[in-house]
Structure 1
């Protein structure tokens, strides 16, 4: 399956949109998992797109743009990896390690170029502010879309338009002569989400909420073991009796999500109640004239 011209066009347009959504619109269409969904939908295989997008989402869980710093462009990496994985038949895990992560890292440079180019319009906005030229302010603000979008659209277009043959040749060579390398890349791609979790745990207040972390891990492990045993039992019963047609499903991640949501709600209510109590105690120490009654405060 080749990548068609209209697929390249749609993926390029989405690449330009997703960075704008990230910095202004904020509709969540700039996340890697959404990039995988859109790319998979355009390429005709949403499952592969969601596998790559979800893996990249987990990989950057703990990576932030603190102070406006540039970070790896996981969205563009997801778009290109999904397109090539589906277009040339590359294993999703191999595509993550061999394409998504390197491309995402490389596009840090285009992100910096986009930021640098956009300063031209920022200075023009400053000049128009001094002149109270509101139309000029609006025009230059909107023109800032151009460098931001092109910083993603150009690399994605060039990769999809001219890199297909190279990637297909490389994939065929790896499958025929470098199977060990393909297996290694697949293993590395599968490990990347664990790296994302490790980075995230490094920044989260784990020590303060260690009880929730332990309880959540144990509940997940217990449910996973329980569901696995039930599925095994159901499979065995089906082999013994043809009349036994009950369907057993695996552990739904939505259930685990709701367990985590319940813990988050409990913690939020506890923190909110504590804040309100502190505020009430503080207000009780001050009389109507503004004097503080408690001289120990």
Structure 2
């Protein structure tokens, strides 16, 4: 991987955590499937990038960050896993097995991000107490984003620039052994875990009925995902309106 490609991967990793992508980068832009497309675009193979990113995304379908906990960094896993698959020729399943530990390492950067924000909070309080309202943006936006960029861009760039070659050497050394088939088998199982976590969340509420409706639409009416998504959005709007009307009557 060229240095400029590694830097772009680091920038995309930062954008998923920053406020610049519509303010909701973590929930949209930061998904492995979306980042996989952009990483593939950087490396000249957006189709493979999207496929690998979507496969990695399946692991994290049930991932939730509640109460400040952050069990895994799906964004870093998506970027590094996709880049590894494209540059080393690994299958999507094999890339998944490599992406999982990378996602766990990414939690360290999240914790550094949280800790680094504390001094800027006190700095904003200081500006407010001194009546310098025009300087509060320095503590709330400028300095935190500079530190966040350093925490996210530099490590991701280094991993993509130096780490992929190391993985390539490991893959070459593993050819002809049972290691790669084992990684492929593990990678095939991990998405099932993500789906199971998502199903566990779905079956806790009324959403279970919509799941079965979607299943019937796909299996028996042969509707594609776009049609099912549009119908699901309309049903969700109608459901929320009826639910709000019922609560107002009570």
Check whether TM > 0.5: yes
Correspondence for 1:271 among 239, 243, 247? 243
Cα RMSD for the two superposed structures: 2.4
TM-score by length of 2: 0.87
CA distance in 2, matches of 1:217, 1:53: 23
1:140/1:170 Cα in 2 relative to 1: closer, same or farther (>3 Å)? same
Q: What is the Cα deviation at residue 130 of structure 1?
A: 1.4
Deviations 1:253-279 (A, max 9, x none): 22332343343234223213312323x
SS in 1 for 2:165: helix
CA distance in 2, matches of 1:208, 1:86: 40
Query: Aligned with 1:25: secondary structure?
Result: coil
> Conserved in 2, the CA contact under 8 Å of 1:128 and 1:134?
yes
The alpha-carbon deviation at position 62 of structure 1 amounts to: 2.1
**1 CA distance for matches of 2:61 and 2:19?**
18
**Quick check: 1:206–1:213 contact (8 Å CA) kept in 2?**
no
Larger radius of gyration: 1
Give structure 2 stretches of 5+ with no counterpart. none
Aligned match of 2:199: 201
In structure 1, the residue matched to 2:219 is 221
Tell me, yes or no, if structure 1 residue 90 matches structure 2 residue 103.
Answer: no
Specify whether residues 262 and 66 from structure 1 end up closer, same or farther in structure 2 by C-alpha distance, changes over 3 A only.
same
SS in 1 for 2:176: helix
Whether the 8 Å CA contact 2:13–2:30 is kept in 1: the answer is no
* 2:123 paired residue number: 124
CA distance in 2, matches of 1:74, 1:208: 27
Tell me by how many angstroms 1:116 deviates. 0.9
What's the CA shift string for 1:129-174, capped at 9, x where partnerless? 2112223311122201123222222221111222232111111122
The structure, 1 or 2, with the larger RCO (C-alpha pairs under 8 Å, 6+ apart) is 2
Aligned to 1:187: 185
State the Cα deviation string for residues 201-260 of structure 1 (Å, max 9, x = none): 323354534433333323323245xxxxxxxxxxxxxxxxxxxxxxxxxx6322332343
Q: In the TM superposition, what is the alpha-carbon distance from 1:15 to its structure 2 partner?
A: 1.6
In structure 1, the residue matched to 2:101 is 102
CA distance in 2, matches of 1:113, 1:164: 24
- For 2:153, the equivalent position in structure 1 comes to 153
* 1:70 and 2:42 correspond: no
TM-score by length of 1: 0.75
Give structure 1 regions of 4+ aligned residues with deviation exceeding 6 angstroms.
none
